[in-house]
Structure 1
Amino acid sequence: MISALKQFLADLRGDAEPEPISEDRCRLAAAALLFHVIAIDGEVSEAEKAKLRSVLKERFELDDADVDELVVDAEKADKEAVDLYGFTSIVKSQFDEADRERIVEMMWQLAFADGKVHEFEDNLLWRVAELLGVSSQARIRLKHAVRGDAGA
């Protein structure tokens, strides 16, 4: 996983020749997008961190140690990134439409994790969905489905 993070950060800086995109780098890109959701409002709650771990563990079928490592790497990648394109370009190129919609759904789950959707989270979801090629209709449908599940 460390080599995936190093390569991902090198790609963001434009260092070196790009290597083929590994499964670890795909996971890291998705996890960094997910981490960005919980951090964008300036406050990362324990409920949001727990939900992040939960969705990553379920989606990528990881054990606790791997989830913890992925969250640390995702936070670092998010802090080093200057924009979302480095993450979204990997996800868009490597995930099919259903998987990209699943990422947006996971982002909504995180946005609702603390009981409220901040305007920054809502705007982020709109931008990421656009960059991932997820339609507005699908983004709104997923929001309503998650909001219904969250009891909000």
Structure 2
Amino acid sequence: MLDAIQQFFQRALTMPGADDDQRHLTLELATAALLCEIVRADQRTDPAELDAWRGMLKARFSLDDQRVDELMALATHETNQAVDHFQFVRLVNEHYDYADKVALVELMWQLAYVDEALDAHEEHRIRKLADLLFVRHSDFIRAKLRVQARRGGVSG
């Protein structure tokens, strides 16, 4: 499937002279799309999850409200159209270092626990994405335990 967003990814990352702003925008979208996958994993979209996702994007990328809303809408559209996660995962793997990927997995865990319950579909999706991001299982578990500890030991 080759839609407008994928074409944008390709142009922004591969065109000669692509600047840091273009790369950054593309990585913002890839990150937002992977987080969107966690929001959608349990087939319910809780307003608290949307607020948490919005807050994560604002904090991670220092964006204003309008830009975050645009990014969330674009990420939602793209994940609805995507056949798989490959285009997002590939971009993150190519441009994030290992620590950034572990931090992204930790954000996924935070999203999953926003509603105080870990759905099996959320956990499965995070596990799958962590594997595709080449995050070691030990770091996957440590990220989960850090989030649980901050939330007061939520089980799951």
Q: TM-score, normalised by structure 2?
A: 0.86
2:11 alignment counterpart = 19
2:91 alignment counterpart = 90
1:149 deviates by 1.0
| Stretches of structure 2 lacking an aligned partner (at least 5 in a row) | 14-22
2:16 alignment counterpart = none
Secondary structure in 1 aligned to 2:11?
coil
Secondary structure in 2 aligned to 1:72?
helix
RMSD: 1.6
2:113 alignment counterpart = 112
1:59 alignment counterpart = 60
Q: For residue 143 of structure 2, what is the amino acid of its counterpart?
A: L
Paired residues of 2:12 and 2:26 also in contact (CA < 8 A): no
List per-residue Cα deviations over 1:65-92 (Å, max 9, x = no partner). Answer: 1111111111001101101111111101
Report the Cα distance in structure 2 between the residues aligned to 1:38 and 1:54, rounded to whole angstroms.
13
Report the Cα distance in structure 1 between the residues aligned to 2:125 and 2:8, rounded to whole angstroms.
22
Paired residues of 1:28 and 1:73 also in contact (CA < 8 A): yes
| Stretches of structure 1 lacking an aligned partner (at least 5 in a row) | 13-17
Runs ≥4 residues deviating over 6 A? none
List per-residue Cα deviations over 1:10-61 (Å, max 9, x = no partner). Answer: 379xxxxx32422111110110000110111110000100000011111111
Structure possessing the higher radius of gyration over alpha carbons: 2
Q: For residue 30 of structure 1, what is the amino acid of its counterpart?
A: T
2:37 alignment counterpart = 36
Q: For residue 29 of structure 2, what is the amino acid of its counterpart?
A: L
Paired residues of 1:9 and 1:80 also in contact (CA < 8 A): no
Aligned residues: 142
2:71 alignment counterpart = 70
Paired residues of 1:27 and 1:60 also in contact (CA < 8 A): yes
Q: TM-score, normalised by structure 1?
A: 0.88
Q: For residue 10 of structure 1, what is the amino acid of its counterpart?
A: Q
2:17 alignment counterpart = none
